[in-house]
Structure 1
Amino acid sequence: MGSLVGHVAPGFAFLALGFWHLFNHIKLHILHPNSYTSSPWFPSSKLRYIELFFIMVGSSISISMELFIGPERHQPFDPDGTIPSNHLHNFEHAAISMTFFTYAAFALLLDKINPKAKYALTQFLGAVAFAQQLLLFHLHSADHMGVEGQYHLLLQSAIVVSLATTLMGIGLPKSFMVSFIRSLSILYQGVWLIIMGYMLWTPDLISKGCFIHSEDGHQVVRCSSDEALHRAKALVNIQFSWTLILVTVFSMAFYLVLVKLYGEKVEYSTLAKEEALELEEDSDDVESQKEISKHGEPKSFIQMGKGYAVMDIER
């Protein structure tokens, strides 16, 4: 991180994962509203572990960028083997990626071994990843007081939601809303990281009175006065609020669209089952009538009327 690409790339990864989970949870709940059970990850029809592979590959790329590709010497250590101050945040970001890699790797192994506690343990691993992410962003070695610090502070609120809902999912695997909110929080993390990347490292988008300044080999946003800093932070808060509204509107619209698409299939399937049951009942009634006629059981009013007519003629 610490650059436009360093925020936008992981942002798109979180956005894709959040959208993938949101789509699958909504679809699963629509198709199976009574038997819905959450899933910590979703296989695809062609490649079962594509989501987990995506996380592992993305995490590996992130670790490589932070520790080997990004640094000028292509390694993050000083000549004496110590970690220089300007590379502390690289190790922090790499630690987050390592935790997500660990989650994906063990989720894959748990699925292959298939123990009874597979679901709970996978959720636990996800919670550990979000907890690590929250901890390191909260204790970030980067500036906490500037504009970037305000973006990170608001990002932590989305991470808290992801962490809380993941922990809740362990005890509430059948709760659609827990899964829905978790998916949305992951998606929101991605959106906010993308916004952060563009707003902090695009000169034309930086708040009035602030500028990009190079410190210890990293570009950071500084403001010329306290008033400019206060204004910049207020604008960040407004961006967060507007983004929250837009993401909420999107999630509701997306849910309604999927209900329209997949809800009709459920209704058609239900009607087909009801019609099949009615046909079975009708056929049972016909068979029972045949059986009654064969064994001389009670006849219909028409048959009884015909019998009385014959008796009258004979008289």
Structure 2
Amino acid sequence: MANFKGHALPGSFFIIFGLWWSVKYSLKYHSRKLNRNDQAHHSFKHLDVIEGAVKVAFAIIGILAEQFVPDGPHLHLYHYGEEHGWVKLMNWQHATMYLFFGFTGVMDILTYSPAKAPVGLDRLMLAVALFVEGFLFYFHVSNRPMLDQHIHSLLLTAIFGGAASTLMEVFLRDNVILELFRASLSLQQGTWLWQIGFVLFPPWGRPEWNEEDHHNMMFITMCFCWHYATAILITAINYTLVHCCIQSHQRNDGQTEFRLGIRKKNHDKSAHATLLNESDEE
């Protein structure tokens, strides 16, 4: 959809997954540090299957939204009538992007369910989906105004960066640095898609941007850096919150064990004293 909602919808999906990944991989990392591998591994496998199902659901929602909005193509790719030509190719491009992210959800389910697809295919499919997204966006804005092309080319930095880091995860499994890097780039993609919507399709009757003004391009470039700084900050906050929660839970467990040890010791002493008294009476 070439409008504000068409950019806000995928942007919201990327923000949701960026926030989820920043929490999930922080929890996974700290679980491994606490040597709870067996229990944590089993729990995270269930979470990965649920995550895959959510990806499939989001992809279906996105495809249906692109195809069946009032001005959408309604599954018509080419018009053979008097005005023959392609039908709403921009909607078809967005739907293709959603399709590949739906494939990543299916691969997550196959990898972490009893079907047990080879480990690494989930990350490989996600890298392919991100590459396809970048490939589509690269040819998405040809012959468009200068600001339109520039703001989408900045998005390509986050997309191809995410594709490259995810491809590295195929070979470097459970690398928390790469995982959190992917989470931060997902957050940036999401917030930047919202920014594109505000710039190119100002909602609520706001004035349109001058798409040929060089100062606007300078501001947008700087704004892109601010978006990534915000993404890093959010990822760091989530990691810190998870770390503090884990440490607090660990301290509480240690206090409980310490108290239980004292009680057990006192109980043993009282039992020993009772036995001595009984022996004296005899």
Counterpart check, 1:104 vs 2:105: yes
Partner of 1:65: 65
Counting only pairs closer than 5 Å after superposition, residues 1-315 of structure 1 correspond to structure 2 as 1-33=1-33, 49-71=49-71, 74-80=74-80, 84-85=85-86, 87-115=88-116, 117=118, 119-143=119-143, 145-202=145-202, 204=206, 206-207=208-209, 210=210, 223=211, 226=212, 228=213, 230-269=214-253
Please give the alpha-carbon distance, in whole angstroms, between the structure 2 residues aligned to 1:83 and 1:132: 28
Please give the alpha-carbon distance, in whole angstroms, between the structure 2 residues aligned to 1:242 and 1:175: 26
Please give the alpha-carbon distance, in whole angstroms, between the structure 2 residues aligned to 1:35 and 1:151: 45
- Kept after mapping to 2: 8 A contact 1:66/1:91: yes
Tell me the secondary structure at the aligned position of residue 71 of structure 1: coil
Q: Which has the larger radius of gyration?
A: 1
Tell me the secondary structure at the aligned position of residue 206 of structure 2: helix
Q: CA deviation at 1:44?
A: 6.5
- Kept after mapping to 2: 8 A contact 1:28/1:36: no
- Kept after mapping to 2: 8 A contact 1:76/1:83: no
- Structure 2 CA distance for partners of 1:160 and 1:206, relative to 1, 3 Å: same
> Could you list the runs of 5+ residues in structure 1 that have no partner in the other structure?
211-222, 283-315
Tell me the secondary structure at the aligned position of residue 8 of structure 1: helix
Partner of 2:272: none
For normalisation by structure 2, the TM-score amounts to 0.78
> Could you list the runs of 5+ residues in structure 2 that have no partner in the other structure?
266-282
Please give the alpha-carbon distance, in whole angstroms, between the structure 2 residues aligned to 1:12 and 1:70: 21
- Structure 2 CA distance for partners of 1:95 and 1:72, relative to 1, 3 Å: closer
Q: CA deviation at 1:13?
A: 0.8
Q: Percent identity?
A: 20
Count of matched residue positions in the alignment of Structure 1 and Structure 2 = 259
Amino acid at match of 1:28: K
Partner of 1:299: none
- Kept after mapping to 1: 8 A contact 2:183/2:235: no
Q: CA deviation at 1:116?
A: 6.2
Q: CA deviation at 1:187?
A: 1.5
- Structure 2 CA distance for partners of 1:26 and 1:110, relative to 1, 3 Å: closer
Please give the alpha-carbon distance, in whole angstroms, between the structure 2 residues aligned to 1:79 and 1:175: 49
- Structure 2 CA distance for partners of 1:267 and 1:200, relative to 1, 3 Å: same
Q: CA deviation at 1:108?
A: 1.5
Please give the alpha-carbon distance, in whole angstroms, between the structure 1 residues aligned to 2:88 and 2:167: 32
Amino acid at match of 1:204: R
Please give the alpha-carbon distance, in whole angstroms, between the structure 1 residues aligned to 2:50 and 2:85: 37
- Kept after mapping to 2: 8 A contact 1:30/1:263: no
Tell me the secondary structure at the aligned position of residue 32 of structure 1: helix
Please give the alpha-carbon distance, in whole angstroms, between the structure 1 residues aligned to 2:169 and 2:20: 17
**In proportion to residue count, which structure has more helix?**
2
Amino acid at match of 1:175: N
Partner of 2:276: none
Deviation track 1:72-112 (CA, whole Å, cap 9, x = no partner) reads 66344443189835622222111111111112123213333
Q: CA deviation at 1:266?
A: 3.2
Please give the alpha-carbon distance, in whole angstroms, between the structure 2 residues aligned to 1:173 and 1:34: 18
Please give the alpha-carbon distance, in whole angstroms, between the structure 1 residues aligned to 2:235 and 2:187: 10
- Kept after mapping to 2: 8 A contact 1:49/1:108: yes
- Structure 2 CA distance for partners of 1:258 and 1:143, relative to 1, 3 Å: farther
Amino acid at match of 2:111: L
- Kept after mapping to 2: 8 A contact 1:199/1:205: no
Tell me the secondary structure at the aligned position of residue 180 of structure 1: helix
- Structure 2 CA distance for partners of 1:83 and 1:233, relative to 1, 3 Å: farther
For normalisation by structure 1, the TM-score amounts to 0.70
- Structure 2 CA distance for partners of 1:106 and 1:250, relative to 1, 3 Å: closer
Q: CA deviation at 1:131?
A: 1.0
- Structure 2 CA distance for partners of 1:171 and 1:35, relative to 1, 3 Å: farther
